């Protein structure tokens, strides 16, 4: 846990040093990308690319159990997770953005522990509607992920009790996600919302103990999410906001048998974004859990660095 905190601290310092270097730089030519966050479109302008580097970490002292009750963990390090993600997007046309990304997971969920890459994904985002003033916008996002992460279930036996010992970081087959996104900007405010549905294909995984390992059919549960964010442009280079997010996934099935691991989570997400220049942004965010099931009751620290190229 101390190591992760040091890594998160070093990452924050690095972001800060980069930001100080570019703070106050003025554009030498008119930018194709709006300077204020609340004016920025859902789809990148043509020939504009954006690199996004994200870091998220939490260690939970409580979790929402299968009945939705908040329960204390025996050890805070029983449920901790570090997620690092790299993503790049590119404005191919005025109405189309394409991109790809990959996450990295490291942590522990009860006895399951490990560190590995997640599934690689690619996306396309289409601009459906935009008014003449560019204050209202509607877009559709389609994403597909490809099996790169660890989808197997490694079991172990200890004190006559079986448990999963590896941290799963991916699915055994291709997953598909469709999302509808909206934005409305008015004066110094912006309202953004999105809804996403995820469909995961069945595949084969290795499961069991090392000496008794077998191949089994694994059917990941479908998922959905919803978010609404309210932003306020405090200054030209400072944005404050708060969002409400709902995440949900159906239970996974192994050889047709449900694993009783379905979950949902409601979170309130305050955030501050610092715009160091026309091409650099630092977003600092957290999450306040409101209710959930089979999920941590934790307050993650989330950092996102964005750079236009």
Q: Parallel, antiparallel, or unpaired for β 263-277 and 280-286? A: antiparallel
The answer to whether the pTM exceeds 0.75 is: yes
pLDDT digits (tens, 9 = 90+) for 33-81: 888 899 999 999 999 999 999 999 999 999 999 999 999 998 878 999 9
Q: What is the pLDDT of residue 52?
A: 97
Do residues 11 and 19 touch, judged by C-beta distance below 8 A? no
Distance CA 178, CA 141 (A): 6
Q: Look at the chain and count its residues.
A: 309
Domains delineated in the chain: 2-308 (2.40.128.130)
Average pLDDT over residues 256-267: 95
Q: In terms of Cα–Cα distance, which of 72, 105, 104 is closest to 87?
A: 104
Residue 97: C-alpha distances to residues 100, 123, 201 (Å)? 11, 8, 25
The per-residue pLDDT of the chain, averaged, comes to 89
Q: In what order do the strands lie in the sheet with 70-72?
A: 70-72, 62-64, 295-297
For the CA atoms of 41, 44, 47, 48, what is the dihedral angle to 10 degrees? 90
Burial of 153 (0-12, 13-18, 19+ CB in 10 A): buried
Residue 138: C-alpha distances to residues 33, 82, 124, 191, 230 (Å)? 18, 32, 14, 12, 16
pLDDT digits (tens, 9 = 90+) for 197-227: 999 999 999 998 877 789 999 999 999 999 9
First to last CA, the chain: 35
């Amino acid at each position: 846990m101390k190591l992760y905190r040091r890594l998160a601290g070093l990452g924050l310092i690095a972001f800060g040093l980069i930001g100080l270097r570019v703070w106050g730089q003025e554009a030498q030519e008119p930018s194709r990308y709006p300077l204020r966050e609340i004016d920025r479109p859902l789809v990148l302008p043509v020939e504009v690319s954006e690199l996004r580097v994200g870091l998220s970490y939490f260690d939970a002292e409580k979790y929402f159990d299968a009945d939705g009750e908040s329960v204390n963990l025996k050890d805070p390090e029983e449920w901790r997770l570090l997620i690092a993600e790299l993503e790049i997007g590119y404005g191919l046309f005025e109405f189309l953005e394409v991109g790809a990304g990959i996450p990295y997971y490291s942590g522990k969920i009860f006895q399951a522990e490990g560190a590995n890459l997640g599934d690689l994904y690619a996306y396309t985002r289409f601009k459906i509607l935009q008014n003449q003033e560019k204050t209202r916008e509607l877009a559709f996002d389609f994403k597909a992920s490809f099996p790169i992460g660890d989808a197997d279930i490694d079991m172990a036996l200890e004190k006559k009790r079986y448990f999963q010992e590896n941290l799963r970081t991916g699915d055994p087959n291709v997953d598909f996600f469709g999302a509808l996104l909206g934005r409305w900007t008015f004066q110094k405010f912006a309202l953004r919302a999105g809804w996403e549905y995820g469909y995961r294909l069945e595949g084969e995984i290795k499961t069991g103990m090392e000496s008794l390992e077998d191949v089994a059919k694994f059917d990941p549960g479908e998922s959905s999410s919803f978010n609404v964010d309210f932003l306020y442009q405090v200054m030209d280079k400072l944005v404050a906001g708060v969002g409400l997010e709902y995440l949900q996934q159906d239970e996974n099935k192994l050889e047709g048998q449900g694993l009783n691991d379905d979950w949902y989570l409601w979170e309130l997400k305050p955030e501050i974004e610092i715009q160091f220049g026309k091409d650099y942004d630092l977003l600092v965010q957290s999450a306040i859990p409101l209710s959930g099931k089979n999920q941590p009751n934790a307050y993650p620290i989330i950092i996102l660095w964005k750079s236009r190229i």
